[in-house]
């Protein structure tokens, strides 16, 4: 999904020619392992402030050369040598901290596109992409002289994507993106990675996309609000647009999946869930579930994990992502896997569910009486703080100690049918098994609004349901 060059797609194959051989020979002069990779990865993640911009997104794979990644992760002299090569050297530094990316590079999946787009005097580059039939990763790079203040973050968001073969708008996908601080730009060489997953379709062979580069300006000081004092909705993001950039990319032939049919019914907490099929891609495994119409509750989420040799290797949002169908009749789960490693027996564990009773999806909040109708077990309207035509509402929800989630949809209405946007929703970390949710709403004349609930506390199974994952 990406940039201004359709034909110039060459794989980053650095294992050819005398120059490459020279790098290899020089690398072996000082063989010394690169230690503390995991610790350095954690530090880098701490700087790179990742922001999900969609419900579902996942890291796909595609990069270049077994020898390259082996030497980068095992030989400090080689890593130093490769770091002296513009752009690819910077990506080499980047991949030392990412195992999934390393696996992709190891197996020659990177596509070098070497694209740069301009908007006036502002520029943005897209040196590399990775893709298979369902997933795509874009490596944007900010220019070396891109300036940020201490309270500023660089963000890249998607504005539009088109299929170049027919000019149609592309949909049926979701994505996640990272943001970078001034320190992060220096350490990551200006790379901002976006990960796309096409849950309802396939990655087109040729894509044009427009992306928006912005600077988010954070307040230098946090406003302190006294207990019981009305707080204006100050959570709107302060964004400065730097430019819109257009890229075009024509992908090489994309790998197709192996498909396994199941159609097996599971009964969990009185809900019927059907495991329909699995599709195995180079970047991971996609699992499809459907939910029975007769279920008394909407299934709003699953607590999933991957077990390998009786050890949890992936869980939660770390390597597992999911997308619900719009009509809530099912969901797809995408599981990251080290496709290029020797296969091991793996199981998908369903460890819990989020269930929302269909008759309790919408609640009426009476701000004068401080009541919720219907009454929701484990939820209270704790505080109503009135302001000029608005009110702060504070809800308390009974949760597990490690559970935290957004409670409401970002659209609500009054009893006259007028709709409003919920600009922000603040949640606290659970304390004594209670989580607080704070929102700011308009105050209608009768003091009543209708909120739509989106997520609920996680219900944990005593024993997980185990589903064997097929191997490649």
- Per-residue DSSP letters for 88-134? HHHHHHHHTT-HHHHHHHHTT--EEEEEEEEETTEEEEEEEEEE-SS
Residue 61 pLDDT more than 90? no
Which helix (H) or strand (E) segment holds residue 191: the answer is strand 191-197
Residue with the bigger pLDDT between 223 and 313: it is: 313
Measured distance CA(40)–CA(23) in Å, rounded: 25
How many of the other CB atoms lie within 10 Å of CB of 265? Answer: 11
Which helix (H) or strand (E) segment holds residue 250: the answer is strand 239-250
Instruction: Taking residues 110-122, report their average pLDDT.
Output: 90
pLDDT band at 329 (very low <50, low <70, confident <90, very high): very high
The model carries a pTM of: 0.65
The pair of structure tokens assigned to 384 is 């109503």
The pair of structure tokens assigned to 418 is 């007028």
* Average pLDDT of the residues of the chain: 76
pLDDT band at 124 (very low <50, low <70, confident <90, very high): very high
Measured distance CA(339)–CA(461) in Å, rounded: 30
Highest average pLDDT, of 45-59, 80-94, 345-359, comes from 345-359
Residue with the bigger pLDDT between 195 and 301: it is: 301
Read off the pLDDT of residues 357-405 as tens digits, 9 standing for 90 and up.
999 999 999 999 999 999 999 999 999 999 989 999 999 999 987 788 8
Residue with the bigger pLDDT between 96 and 144: it is: 144
Tell me what pLDDT residue 398 has: 95
Instruction: Taking residues 88-106, report their average pLDDT.
Output: 51
Tell me what pLDDT residue 335 has: 82
Tell me what pLDDT residue 112 has: 83
Instruction: Taking residues 72-84, report their average pLDDT.
Output: 35
Residue 315 pLDDT more than 70? no
Determine if the peptide bond prior to 374 is cis (ω within 30°): yes
Residue 39 pLDDT more than 90? no
Ramachandran angles phi, psi of 270, nearest 5°: 75, 5
Measured distance CA(61)–CA(183) in Å, rounded: 27
Residue 18 pLDDT more than 80? no
Closest CA to 451 of 462, 460, 459, 440: 440
Rg (CA), the chain: 24
Residue 172 pLDDT more than 90? no
Residue 75 pLDDT more than 90? no
Residue 95 pLDDT more than 80? no
Contact 344, 470 (CB under 8 A): no
Produce one character per residue of 376-401: b if its CB has 16 or more CB atoms within 10 Å, e if not: beebbbebbbeeeeebbbbbbbbbee
pLDDT band at 207 (very low <50, low <70, confident <90, very high): very high
Distances (CA, A) of 338 to 31, 174, 397: 26, 22, 38
Tell me what pLDDT residue 444 has: 95
How many of the other CB atoms lie within 10 Å of CB of 209? Answer: 23
Tell me what pLDDT residue 93 has: 53
Measured distance CA(441)–CA(419) in Å, rounded: 11
Secondary structure (3-state) at 154 = strand
Distances (CA, A) of 368 to 76, 136, 244, 394, 454: 67, 50, 46, 14, 24
Tell me what pLDDT residue 257 has: 83
């Amino acid at each position: 999904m990406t940039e201004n060059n359709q034909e110039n797609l060459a794989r980053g194959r650095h294992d050819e020619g005398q120059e490459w051989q020279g790098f290899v020979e020089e690398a072996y002069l000082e063989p010394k392992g690169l230690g503390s990779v995991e610790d350095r990865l954690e530090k880098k993640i701490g700087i790179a402030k990742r922001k999900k911009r969609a419900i579902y997104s996942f890291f796909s794979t595609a990069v270049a050369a077994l020898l390259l990644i082996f030497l980068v992760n095992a030989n400090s002299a080689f890593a130093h040598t490769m770091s002296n090569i513009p752009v690819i050297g910077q990506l080499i530094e980047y991949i030392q901290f990412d195992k999934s990316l390393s696996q992709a590079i190891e197996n020659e999946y990177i596509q070098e596109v070497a694209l740069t787009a301009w908007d006036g005097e502002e520029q943005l580059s897209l040196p590399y992409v990775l893709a298979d039939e369902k997933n795509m990763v874009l490596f944007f790079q900010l220019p070396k002289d891109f300036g940020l203040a201490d309270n500023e973050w660089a963000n890249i968001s998607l504005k539009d994507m088109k299929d170049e073969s027919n000019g149609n708008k592309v949909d049926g996908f979701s994505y996640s993106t990272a943001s970078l601080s001034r320190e992060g730009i220096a350490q990551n060489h200006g790379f901002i990675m976006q990960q796309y997953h096409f849950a309802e379709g396939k990655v087109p062979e040729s894509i044009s996309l427009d992306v928006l580069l912005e600077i988010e300006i954070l307040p230098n000081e946090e406003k302190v609000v006294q207990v019981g004092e009305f707080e204006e909705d100050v959570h709107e993001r302060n964004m400065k647009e730097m430019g819109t950039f257009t890229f075009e990319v024509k992908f090489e032939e994309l790998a197709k999946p192996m498909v396994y049919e199941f159609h097996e019914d599971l009964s969990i907490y009185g809900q019927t869930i059907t495991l329909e099929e699995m599709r195995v891609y180079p970047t991971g495994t996609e699992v499809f579930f459907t939910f029975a119409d007769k279920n008394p509750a909407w299934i709003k989420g699953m607590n999933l994990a991957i077990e390998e040799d009786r050890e949890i290797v992936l869980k939660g949002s770390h390597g597992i992502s999911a997308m619900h169908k719009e009509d809530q009749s099912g969901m797809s789960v995408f599981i990251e896997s080290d496709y290029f490693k020797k296969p091991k027996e793996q199981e998908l564990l369903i460890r819990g569910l989020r269930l929302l009773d269909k008759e309790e999806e919408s609640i009426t909040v009476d701000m004068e009486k401080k009541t919720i109708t219907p009454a929701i077990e484990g939820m209270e309207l704790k505080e109503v703080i009135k302001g000029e035509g608005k009110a702060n509402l504070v809800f308390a929800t009974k949760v597990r100690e490690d559970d935290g989630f957004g409670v409401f949809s970002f659209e609500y209405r009054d009893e006259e049918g007028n709709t409003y946007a919920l600009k922000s929703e603040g949640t606290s970390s659970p304390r004594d098994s209670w989580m607080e949710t704070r929102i700011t709403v308009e105050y209608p004349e009768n003091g009543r609004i209708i909120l739509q609930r989106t997520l609920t506390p996680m219900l944990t199974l005593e024993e997980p349901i185990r589903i064997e994952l097929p191997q490649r």
